[in-house]
Amino acid sequence: MTGTKTTLEYEINASKKMLYPYLSSASGLAQWYADDVWIDEDKIFHFVWDGEEHKAKLVAHRTNHSVKFEFFDDIIAENEPAFIEMRIEENELTQSFYIRITDFSDMEDADEVRELWDNLIHDLKEIVGG
d(CA 66, CA 47): 18
Segment 73-78 mean pLDDT: 65
pTM above 0.85, yes or no: yes
pLDDT of residue 107: 81
d(CA 110, CA 115): 9
Res 51 pLDDT > 70: yes
Quick one: what percent of the chain has pLDDT higher than 90? Answer: 72
Give 12-80 as a 3 state SS string: ECCCHHHHHHHHHCHHHHHHHCCCEEEECCCCEEEEEECCEEEEEEEEEEECCCEEEEEEEEEECCCCC
Q: How far is CA 106 from the centre of its chain?
A: 15
Class of domain 4-128 as given by CATH: alpha beta
pLDDT of residue 2: 67
